[in-house]
Structure 1
Protein backbone atom coordinates (compact mmCIF):
# COMPACT_ATOMS: atom_id res chain seq x y z
CA UNK A 1 0.00 0.00 0.00
CA UNK A 2 2.80 2.50 0.84
CA UNK A 3 4.43 1.96 -2.54
CA UNK A 4 1.07 2.70 -4.20
CA UNK A 5 0.63 5.84 -2.09
CA UNK A 6 4.14 7.03 -2.98
CA UNK A 7 3.60 6.12 -6.65
CA UNK A 8 0.51 8.33 -6.79
CA UNK A 9 2.59 11.26 -5.52
CA UNK A 10 5.41 10.47 -7.96
CA UNK A 11 2.97 10.27 -10.89
CA UNK A 12 1.19 13.51 -10.00
CA UNK A 13 3.97 15.68 -8.55
CA UNK A 14 7.00 14.81 -10.68
CA UNK A 15 7.55 18.51 -11.46
CA UNK A 16 7.18 19.72 -7.86
CA UNK A 17 10.05 21.75 -6.46
CA UNK A 18 9.07 20.98 -2.87
CA UNK A 19 6.89 18.42 -1.08
CA UNK A 20 6.32 18.53 2.68
CA UNK A 21 5.36 15.64 4.95
CA UNK A 22 3.75 16.75 8.23
CA UNK A 23 4.05 14.51 11.28
CA UNK A 24 6.84 12.33 9.91
CA UNK A 25 7.40 10.57 13.23
CA UNK A 26 9.55 7.46 12.87
CA UNK A 27 7.93 6.14 9.67
CA UNK A 28 9.92 7.41 6.70
CA UNK A 29 9.13 4.83 4.02
CA UNK A 30 7.07 7.16 1.82
CA UNK A 31 9.54 10.04 2.08
CA UNK A 32 12.39 7.65 1.25
CA UNK A 33 10.59 6.38 -1.86
CA UNK A 34 9.90 9.96 -2.94
CA UNK A 35 13.54 10.99 -2.39
CA UNK A 36 14.70 8.05 -4.53
CA UNK A 37 12.31 8.80 -7.39
CA UNK A 38 11.87 12.58 -7.52
CA UNK A 39 14.23 15.49 -7.90
CA UNK A 40 11.93 17.48 -5.58
CA UNK A 41 13.03 18.73 -2.20
CA UNK A 42 11.32 16.40 0.29
CA UNK A 43 10.86 18.18 3.64
CA UNK A 44 9.70 16.30 6.75
CA UNK A 45 8.30 18.02 9.83
CA UNK A 46 7.24 16.84 13.27
CA UNK A 47 6.63 18.39 16.66
CA UNK A 48 9.16 15.87 18.08
CA UNK A 49 11.71 15.11 15.36
CA UNK A 50 13.05 11.55 15.52
CA UNK A 51 16.24 12.41 13.59
CA UNK A 52 18.19 15.32 12.13
CA UNK A 53 16.48 15.37 8.72
CA UNK A 54 13.14 16.25 10.30
CA UNK A 55 12.38 19.92 10.95
CA UNK A 56 10.72 20.70 14.26
CA UNK A 57 7.37 22.39 13.68
CA UNK A 58 3.97 22.45 15.34
CA UNK A 59 1.26 22.31 12.67
CA UNK A 60 -1.12 23.97 15.17
CA UNK A 61 1.17 27.02 15.22
CA UNK A 62 3.18 26.51 12.02
CA UNK A 63 6.16 28.34 10.63
CA UNK A 64 4.67 29.04 7.20
CA UNK A 65 8.14 29.58 5.71
CA UNK A 66 8.65 25.80 5.93
CA UNK A 67 5.59 25.15 3.78
CA UNK A 68 5.86 28.09 1.38
CA UNK A 69 6.61 27.12 -2.21
CA UNK A 70 5.45 23.55 -1.75
CA UNK A 71 3.31 21.92 -4.40
CA UNK A 72 2.09 19.25 -2.00
CA UNK A 73 1.68 18.88 1.75
CA UNK A 74 0.84 15.39 2.93
CA UNK A 75 0.31 13.67 6.25
CA UNK A 76 0.12 9.99 7.06
CA UNK A 77 -2.30 9.02 9.82
CA UNK A 78 -2.52 12.42 11.50
CA UNK A 79 -4.57 12.76 14.65
CA UNK A 80 -8.07 13.95 13.71
CA UNK A 81 -7.67 17.20 15.67
CA UNK A 82 -4.69 18.12 13.46
CA UNK A 83 -6.59 17.82 10.18
CA UNK A 84 -8.16 21.32 10.29
CA UNK A 85 -4.67 22.78 10.86
CA UNK A 86 -3.33 20.89 7.84
CA UNK A 87 -6.13 22.34 5.74
CA UNK A 88 -5.38 25.89 6.94
CA UNK A 89 -1.68 25.56 6.08
CA UNK A 90 -2.49 24.18 2.61
CA UNK A 91 -4.95 27.02 2.02
CA UNK A 92 -2.47 29.68 3.16
CA UNK A 93 0.37 28.30 1.03
CA UNK A 94 -1.69 27.31 -2.02
CA UNK A 95 -0.46 23.73 -1.90
CA UNK A 96 -2.36 20.55 -2.60
CA UNK A 97 -3.09 18.50 0.51
CA UNK A 98 -3.19 14.72 0.85
CA UNK A 99 -4.26 13.13 4.11
CA UNK A 100 -3.86 9.38 4.58
CA UNK A 101 -5.95 8.76 7.70
CA UNK A 102 -6.19 5.66 9.83
CA UNK A 103 -8.83 3.40 8.31
CA UNK A 104 -11.20 4.29 11.15
CA UNK A 105 -10.81 8.07 10.75
CA UNK A 106 -12.63 10.32 8.32
CA UNK A 107 -11.75 13.73 6.96
CA UNK A 108 -14.41 16.39 7.49
CA UNK A 109 -13.92 18.91 4.72
CA UNK A 110 -16.08 19.48 1.68
CA UNK A 111 -12.96 20.18 -0.42
CA UNK A 112 -11.32 16.85 0.39
CA UNK A 113 -12.09 14.15 -2.19
CA UNK A 114 -11.63 10.44 -1.54
CA UNK A 115 -9.03 8.89 -3.86
CA UNK A 116 -8.61 5.16 -4.39
CA UNK A 117 -5.32 4.46 -6.16
CA UNK A 118 -4.46 0.79 -6.48
CA UNK A 119 -4.29 -0.37 -2.84
CA UNK A 120 -3.99 3.12 -1.34
CA UNK A 121 -6.94 5.15 -0.12
CA UNK A 122 -6.58 8.77 0.92
CA UNK A 123 -8.14 12.23 0.73
CA UNK A 124 -6.92 15.02 -1.50
CA UNK A 125 -7.71 18.71 -1.99
CA UNK A 126 -6.20 21.44 -4.13
CA UNK A 127 -5.94 24.97 -2.74
CA UNK A 128 -4.25 26.63 -5.74
Structure 2
Protein backbone atom coordinates (compact mmCIF):
# COMPACT_ATOMS: atom_id res chain seq x y z
CA UNK A 1 0.00 0.00 0.00
CA UNK A 2 1.36 3.43 -0.92
CA UNK A 3 2.45 5.83 1.80
CA UNK A 4 -0.17 8.41 0.80
CA UNK A 5 -2.92 5.77 1.11
CA UNK A 6 -1.71 4.81 4.59
CA UNK A 7 -1.64 8.43 5.74
CA UNK A 8 -5.12 8.93 4.29
CA UNK A 9 -6.51 5.92 6.18
CA UNK A 10 -4.87 7.06 9.43
CA UNK A 11 -6.31 10.55 8.97
CA UNK A 12 -9.77 9.15 8.30
CA UNK A 13 -9.59 6.96 11.41
CA UNK A 14 -8.54 9.89 13.60
CA UNK A 15 -11.21 12.14 12.03
CA UNK A 16 -13.95 9.56 12.58
CA UNK A 17 -13.06 8.65 16.17
CA UNK A 18 -11.70 11.78 17.88
CA UNK A 19 -12.52 15.48 18.28
CA UNK A 20 -8.97 16.88 18.68
CA UNK A 21 -5.56 15.47 17.86
CA UNK A 22 -1.81 15.97 17.89
CA UNK A 23 0.39 14.21 15.35
CA UNK A 24 3.85 13.51 16.78
CA UNK A 25 6.87 13.43 14.48
CA UNK A 26 5.03 14.44 11.32
CA UNK A 27 8.20 14.96 9.30
CA UNK A 28 6.61 17.66 7.16
CA UNK A 29 3.98 15.24 5.81
CA UNK A 30 0.49 16.57 6.52
CA UNK A 31 -1.88 14.25 4.63
CA UNK A 32 -3.43 12.72 7.78
CA UNK A 33 -3.52 16.01 9.68
CA UNK A 34 -5.19 17.82 6.77
CA UNK A 35 -8.01 15.25 6.81
CA UNK A 36 -8.56 15.92 10.51
CA UNK A 37 -8.35 19.69 9.99
CA UNK A 38 -10.77 19.63 7.03
CA UNK A 39 -13.34 17.94 9.28
CA UNK A 40 -13.17 20.98 11.56
CA UNK A 41 -11.29 19.24 14.37
CA UNK A 42 -8.42 21.00 16.15
CA UNK A 43 -5.09 19.51 15.03
CA UNK A 44 -1.46 20.26 15.80
CA UNK A 45 1.63 18.61 14.34
CA UNK A 46 4.89 18.37 16.27
CA UNK A 47 8.40 17.43 15.23
CA UNK A 48 11.94 18.01 16.45
CA UNK A 49 12.60 19.80 13.14
CA UNK A 50 10.96 22.92 11.75
CA UNK A 51 8.94 22.59 8.53
CA UNK A 52 8.10 25.96 7.00
CA UNK A 53 4.86 26.29 5.13
CA UNK A 54 3.05 23.32 6.65
CA UNK A 55 -0.61 23.15 5.61
CA UNK A 56 -1.67 22.64 9.25
CA UNK A 57 -0.54 24.22 12.53
CA UNK A 58 2.88 22.85 13.45
CA UNK A 59 5.42 23.45 16.22
CA UNK A 60 8.89 22.27 17.07
CA UNK A 61 8.72 20.02 20.13
CA UNK A 62 10.59 17.00 21.44
CA UNK A 63 8.47 14.20 22.89
CA UNK A 64 11.40 13.32 25.19
CA UNK A 65 11.02 16.77 26.83
CA UNK A 66 7.50 17.76 25.77
CA UNK A 67 5.93 21.17 26.16
CA UNK A 68 2.71 19.96 27.79
CA UNK A 69 0.67 22.94 26.61
CA UNK A 70 1.12 21.71 23.01
CA UNK A 71 -0.72 18.50 23.84
CA UNK A 72 -3.20 19.57 26.54
CA UNK A 73 -6.82 18.96 25.59
CA UNK A 74 -6.10 16.50 22.78
CA UNK A 75 -8.29 13.39 22.69
CA UNK A 76 -5.58 11.49 20.82
CA UNK A 77 -1.88 11.60 20.12
CA UNK A 78 -0.87 9.70 17.01
CA UNK A 79 2.24 8.91 15.02
CA UNK A 80 2.81 7.39 11.60
CA UNK A 81 5.89 5.18 11.28
CA UNK A 82 7.73 6.49 14.36
CA UNK A 83 10.98 4.95 15.50
CA UNK A 84 10.33 2.50 18.32
CA UNK A 85 12.63 4.53 20.59
CA UNK A 86 10.03 7.30 20.84
CA UNK A 87 7.14 5.00 21.79
CA UNK A 88 7.92 5.01 25.56
CA UNK A 89 7.89 8.83 25.89
CA UNK A 90 4.72 8.99 23.76
CA UNK A 91 3.06 6.48 26.10
CA UNK A 92 4.11 8.53 29.12
CA UNK A 93 2.86 11.75 27.53
CA UNK A 94 -0.51 10.24 26.55
CA UNK A 95 -1.01 9.02 30.11
CA UNK A 96 -0.06 12.42 31.55
CA UNK A 97 -2.64 14.27 29.47
CA UNK A 98 -5.24 11.47 29.45
CA UNK A 99 -5.30 10.92 25.69
CA UNK A 100 -5.35 7.83 23.50
CA UNK A 101 -2.09 6.97 21.75
CA UNK A 102 -2.46 5.53 18.25
CA UNK A 103 0.54 4.38 16.19
CA UNK A 104 0.91 3.09 12.65
CA UNK A 105 4.13 1.06 12.55
CA UNK A 106 6.50 0.55 9.66
CA UNK A 107 6.33 -3.08 8.58
CA UNK A 108 6.53 -5.42 11.53
CA UNK A 109 8.07 -2.98 14.02
CA UNK A 110 6.25 -3.09 17.33
CA UNK A 111 6.89 -1.88 20.82
CA UNK A 112 6.53 -4.63 23.44
CA UNK A 113 3.18 -6.40 22.85
CA UNK A 114 2.03 -3.92 20.19
CA UNK A 115 -0.83 -2.59 22.28
CA UNK A 116 -4.45 -3.04 21.26
CA UNK A 117 -4.72 -3.74 17.55
CA UNK A 118 -7.28 -1.75 15.60
CA UNK A 119 -8.39 -2.36 12.00
CA UNK A 120 -8.74 0.94 10.17
CA UNK A 121 -10.07 0.26 6.68
CA UNK A 122 -7.44 -2.33 5.89
CA UNK A 123 -4.49 -1.01 7.86
CA UNK A 124 -3.50 -2.05 11.35
CA UNK A 125 -3.17 0.61 14.01
CA UNK A 126 -1.91 0.07 17.54
CA UNK A 127 -3.48 1.76 20.56
CA UNK A 128 -0.87 1.85 23.31
CA UNK A 129 -2.88 4.06 25.67
CA UNK A 130 -6.65 4.37 26.06
CA UNK A 131 -7.86 7.48 27.84
CA UNK A 132 -10.03 7.05 30.88
TM-score, L = length of structure 1: 0.87
Structure 1 position 105, deviation (Å): 0.6
Distance 1:47 1:109 in 2: 27
Distance 1:87 1:109 in 2: 13
SS of the aligned residue for 1:122 comes to: strand
TM-score, L = length of structure 2: 0.85
Which of 53, 59, 72 is 2:76 aligned to? 72
Structure 1 position 2, deviation (Å): 2.8
Residues 15, 41 of structure 2: 8 Å contact kept? no
The match for 2:59 is 55
Structure 1 alignment gaps of length 5 or more: none
Residues 29-108 of structure 1: pairs in structure 2 closer than 5 A: 29-37=31-39, 39-51=40-52, 53-108=57-112
Structure 1 position 109, deviation (Å): 5.1
Distance 2:113 2:49 in 1: 27
Residues 78, 101 of structure 2: 8 Å contact kept? yes
Which has the higher relative contact order, 1 or 2, with Cα contacts under 8 A spaced 6 or more apart? 1
Distance 2:79 2:48 in 1: 13
Segment of structure 1 superposing worse, 96-105 or 80-89: 96-105
Task: Provide the aligned C-alpha RMSD in A.
Answer: 1.6
SS of the aligned residue for 1:105 comes to: coil
Residues 7, 80 of structure 2: 8 Å contact kept? no
